[in-house]
Amino acid sequence: MEPNKTHIAVITVPSFSHQASTMALCKRLLQLNPHLHITFIVPILNSLSNASKSLIDSLSSFNFHIILLPPISFPQASNIHPALQIPLTMSQSIPSIRDTLTSLNNSPNNKLVALIADYLASETIELAKTLNILSYIYFPFSASVLSLCLHSSWLDQMVSCEFRDLPEPIKIPGCIPIHGRDLPNSLQHRSSQDYHNYLRRSKALLLADGILVNSFEGLERGAITALLNEQTNKYPSIYPVGPNVNQAGWVSSNHVNDHDNDSECLRWLDKQETRSVLYVSFGSGGTLSQNQMNELALGLELSGQKFLWVVREPNDFPNANYFTGSKVDPLQFLPCGFVERVIKASGQGLLVASWAPQVEILSHKAIGGFLTHCGWFSILESVLNGLPIIAWPLFAEQRMNAAILSDGLKVAERVKVNENGIVESEEIVMVIQRVMIGDEGTRIRARMKELRDVAVDELKQDGSCSMNLARLGLEWKNI
């Protein structure tokens, strides 16, 4: 490490999307504060994925020190629910994290001045307190979800039934009313371990010296204003620092050196008309059931719309591939004759197995819309490219995000689910046509252009969120 650098540590979690968001934050911190040195601490579940390796490789040109912690493994027969795997990994990694932070803090030349921990690693805030360094939570989700978390104790006391059974929407300060059924998965079963983990993490937010939230006022003015107004008396300092997303030239793949996939996608898009293609992707780990895959395939075909679809092996659990990928060719699960009719014969679409270079795809002139699972990272990427959204939430906080997009911001059409939990092909056809060629799509596109312009300004050096990061860096330098 160079002398006279201000040293901070950043702790992420074993999730590709969280790692990507946190690394994007750190890159912006370094660009705005060249005096910083960052030690990036990476807990590992089972083994480091190709996705994470690719992200870490992208840090070579930045002033990062990477520490990979000893892997945490669970017996294959344990059948631990995906929602519990990150909390368990983090709790078992605490001894390694404590040793790492203590060693860094004991350095005679460049002691730590601050710790930034992912929200899902919030238990490490107590370690920062014992080392007498400043502590911050990085909240990679929306400001609306942050407001929900900070009011979790109040909600828990006010509501006696399951949230999904509430007859009226919940009014969270600064946010649009949210139906209980649209709250994050962790709130859907109040007796579950997942819910208790949520309450524990939300209380830990109050211990931090500050919270960095991956959003900006132009996108969530109501939620951010409410948070800033309440911070003096109730909460730690709130710093809107978004949008933090991958940018072209950093890293865009979750497979190392998968250049053939990149080239095929982009070459195919180069041949398509401007704004004519719908990009279909459910994030880094979202999966559909076999029945739902069949309905989506039929809906895409009947829509008559050009599409680029990232296909995964079907699974009845929507987050089945969140931590582990599949080596099975997912295209074999498509309906009989679909590839021959829709891909080979008519050229209506392009199918990509498991992964595609999303950053480059979303910025391509041929893309006219994004059918997405509504992960916050994908939403911000869509905003930065001014793309209208078809909201198809699967798990975590994605239903709440979909409500914010469709009911609040009016920049998305949300798919309707039938009584069996399936989005039928007829519904898929209607929503695709509304967004891609209908008047509603034109209105959404105009609104998205406004949001894109604001988001681009935030990434400039004089943007308010960039200034928040610069101000933090200066505060750390002066300690």
Cβ atoms of residues 41 and 65 within 8 Å: no
Examine the residue annotation and report whether 18 is marked as an active-site residue of this protein: yes
For 56, other C-beta atoms within 10 Å of its C-beta total: 18
**Amino acid at position 426, single letter:** E
Beta carbons of 281 and 417 less than 8 angstroms apart: no
- Active-site residue identified among 7, 18, 364, 373: 18
The answer to whether residues 432 and 204 touch, using CB atoms and an 8 Å cutoff, is no
Choosing from 57, 65, 81, 118, the catalytic residue is: 118
The sign of the CA dihedral 139, 143, 148, 152 is positive
Rounded Cα distance between 390 and 406, Å, is 9
Q: d(Cα 192, Cα 313) in Å, to the nearest integer?
A: 28
Strands (E), 190-325: 210-213, 237-240, 277-281, 306-311
Q: Is 127 exposed, middle or buried (0-12, 13-18, 19+ CB in 10 A)?
A: buried
Q: Of 361, 261, 255, 248, nearest to 306 (Cα)?
A: 361
CB atoms within 10 A of CB 290: 13
Q: How far apart are CA 243 and CA 227, in angstroms?
A: 17
Tell me which DSSP letter residue 407 carries: I
Owner of token pair 């007829």: 426
| Strands ordered across the beta sheet of 237-240 | 64-68, 36-42, 6-11, 112-118, 134-139, 210-213, 237-240
Tokens of 428: 């898929």
Say whether 81 is catalytic.
no
CA distance 178 to 180: 6
Q: Which residues are catalytic?
A: 18, 118
